[in-house]
Structure 1
Amino acid sequence: MKKFSVVIPVYNRPEEIQELLESLTSQTFQNFEVLIIEDGSINKADKIAAEFATRLDLKYFYKENTGQGFSRNYGFERASGDYFIVFDSDAVIPPKYFETVDKYLTHTPLDAFGGPDAASPDFSPLQKAISYSMTSIFTTGGIRGKKKGVGNFQPRSFNMGISRQTFEKTGGFAKRDMGEDVEFSLRMQSLGLKVGLIEEAFVYHKRRGDFRAFFKQVFSFGRTRILLKKYNPDILKLIHAFPAVFTIGCLLIPVFYLTFKPFFYAGMSILLIYNLLILLDSSLKHKNIYIGFLSLVAVYVQLVGYGLGFLKELLLPSK
């Protein structure tokens, strides 16, 4: 029987980890351990970890701050499992997650894998809207965990697993933060390792609590995409420029109103169709038009935030 080691880096977010740990106590497959890596936090999660020590095979480690990527490596070095699983501290794990992964790996061995993220039925309307924005084919091309999406699947750190042998071969994460999971996924693929999507192994991923925090997060994602170029020149794909093109297009529409009306009307028509697609798709998916309108706002926050971060790092690179 395979054993899994769950490695969870935490930095000043003890309130998030409680729900994650609670979800792990309900797993139908029990052969796993949990390693909580406290990454130099001031606001520690040690008391919450202690509460679950009798309900889970749990180990708690406190260390100086080195970033989430290297904190995961720290956990891998101390793990006893055959496979290492990485979750973000704001994830909630469905009861059959490990049962699903174990069955899949039994008939389809993989060196590394990941699964999609989804919105739990008990998420708030805002959380559902942000989750829709981050997973919709209309915003990301389905590259965050859909079998029929655009581009090769790249596991992300909110739901990623690697074999012990993969860690020994690669050394794990090479960056402390900001795109460390993307770099790691691309490096594993470049080494010829077998990386795959387990579509049924989804997690519920709670997004940032308001649009301001969400904007800051996606702005960082946009910057990171450019910064990662130095690790892999082929990391930039056409789809990654879509938010920047969208942002520039939105900024040009009022200019066209003053200078060239045909372009203004064409741009407004395209935006209207795009807005209706998102509104209808989200409203039907959630059976709630209010979430549909929130999703429309979330999509603009995501695309403009990511686009501005992308353009900032492209035109005014960090030193």
Structure 2
Amino acid sequence: MKLYFSIVIPVYNRPQEIDELLNSLTFQTYKDDYEIVIVEDNSENKCEEVIQKYKDKLTISYFVNIENIGAGKSRNYGMQQAKGNYFIILDSDVLLPTHYLETVKLALTKNYTDAFGGADAAHKSFTALQKAINYSMTSVLTTGGIRGKKNSLGKFQPRSFNMGLSKIAFEKTNGYSEMKYGEDIDLTFRLWNAGFETQFIEEAFVYHKRRTNIEEFYKQTNNFGGARPKLNRRYPETSKPTFWFPTLFIFGFDFSILLLFFGWWIFVIPFVLYFTAIFIDSLLQNKNIKVAFLSIITTYIQFAGYGLGFLKSYFKK
């Protein structure tokens, strides 16, 4: 089957990100035709002027929703309007390496699957905090590498910031559900239940900017944690005891700090050793002491956000 890619990108009030993403697409080594479908989700700060800059360089279709329908439904709308037979779904806050599309085509030619996922990485231009957040979100020591590591724990679940989906699979599953968070995991489970195969394409990574401050990062991980019990209720066979780890970690760490005031220092030792391992591993990967120190903070924030969001959602009817 000849692949014709439609790159689907939902956007909400982020014209600068669209500018940077489209600019990275102009440097692709990919020689075949493809299209870009941008869905503006009722933004106040629209990216129409940015798109005009690239009309002569890229094939772009631009749609504007008059109501804020969310990223999932915006992706569905984009896929409904797309002309391709294979959709590549990206978040607006990513940059693509020059080999991205060529890598995806080669992988699907060798081993075709109706869906795929790729990894995320930190670009050299990112801030120290963005690099630390990227480390916390992708490290085997923090997430088990489930967001895109070859040696990840368990079966890889594609994420919507860097995900591919065939038109056939989209029509069979109806794409993303109404879930605001965790909608990509929900789609992956429905793909598997419908008999579709997925794969992880290691070299099809993107540079993912993520959040630019601690408060936004906490809110994001809190939403991720809140989505997991909802997924467990929908798909009870996917529930695992390990999903409780961030919650137990945070309560255990805070309690160990409290015990220090009473002279019980032994309970804090495992946490000191763990954060030391985080520092060393991040330092080896990023070659930057500031990023390594920040990785300790972002790891704690990630566990706190996810763990407390999970706990609240678990007991919420």
- TM-score if structure 2 supplies the norm length? 0.95
Q: Does the CA contact (< 8 Å) of 2:35 and 2:58 recur in 1?
A: yes
**Alignment check: 8 A CA contact 2:28 2:97 kept:** yes
How much has 1:250 moved relative to structure 2?
1.5
Are residue 7 (structure 1) and residue 14 (structure 2) matched?
Answer: no
Superposition pairs for residues 260-299 of structure 1, below 5 Å? 264-299=264-299
Per-residue deviation at 1:239? 2.7
The separation in 1 between residues aligned to 2:242 and 2:29, in whole angstroms, is 38
Please give the secondary structure, in 2, of the residue aligned with 1:95: coil
User: Contact 1:91/1:204 (CA < 8 Å) preserved in 2?
Assistant: yes
- Residue 267 of structure 1, CA deviation: 2.3
Residue of structure 2 aligned with 1:172, choices 172, 175, 180: 175
The aligned residue for residue 158 of structure 1 is 161
Deviations along 1:191-228, one digit per CA (max 9) or x if unpaired, are 22111101110000001001111111111111111222
Q: Are residue 28 (structure 1) and residue 29 (structure 2) matched?
A: yes
Give the 3 Å change call, closer, same or farther, for CA 209–258 of structure 1 in structure 2: closer
Counterpart residue type for residue 32 of structure 1: Y
Q: Which letter does structure 1 place at the counterpart of 2:14?
A: R
**Corresponding letter in the other structure for 1:6:** I
The equivalent residue for 1:311 is 311
Q: Indicate if the aligned counterparts of 2:120 and 2:208 stay in contact, CA closer than 8 A.
A: yes
TM-score normalised to structure 1 length: 0.94
Shift of 1:305: 1.2
Tell me, in whole angstroms, the C-alpha distance in 1 between the residues paired with 2:296 and 2:312: 24
Ranges in structure 2 where 5+ consecutive residues have no aligned partner: none
| Structure 2 partner of 1:17 | 18
Q: What root-mean-square deviation, in Å, do the aligned CA atoms of Structure 1 and Structure 2 show?
A: 1.5
- Which residue in the other structure is 2:125 paired with? 122
Does structure 1 residue 78 correspond to structure 2 residue 81? yes
For structure 1, which runs of at least 5 residues remain unmatched after alignment? none
Q: Is the 8 A contact 2:247 2:308 kept in 1?
A: yes
For 1:158 and 1:238, locate their aligned partners in 2 and report how far apart those are by CA, in whole Å: 26
Aligned-partner Cα distance in 2 for 1:124–1:138:
22
Identity of aligned residues (%): 47
Query: What is residue 243 of structure 1 aligned with on the other side?
Result: 246
Q: Is the 8 A contact 2:118 2:158 kept in 1?
A: yes
What is aligned with 1:53?
A: 55
Q: Tell me which residue corresponds to 2:192.
A: 189
SS of equivalent to 1:89: coil
Offset of residue 258 of structure 1: 6.2
Instruction: Letter of the 1:85 partner, please give it.
Output: I
Report if the CA contact (8 A) 2:90-2:162 is conserved: yes
Following TM superposition, the consecutive aligned residue runs of length 4 or more in structure 1 with deviations greater than 3 angstroms are: 254-259
- Measure, in 2, the Cα distance between the counterparts of 1:122 and 1:255: 39
Does the residue aligned with 1:116 lie in a helix, a strand or coil? strand
1:224 — aligned with what? 227
Letter in 1 for 2:256: I
Aligned residue for 1:50, secondary structure, equals helix
Residue by residue, what CA displacement relative to the aligned partner does 1:70-122 show, whole Å, maximum 9, x if unpaired? 11111111111121000000010111001001111111011100110011122
Q: 2-side partners of 1:287 and 1:201: how far apart?
A: 23
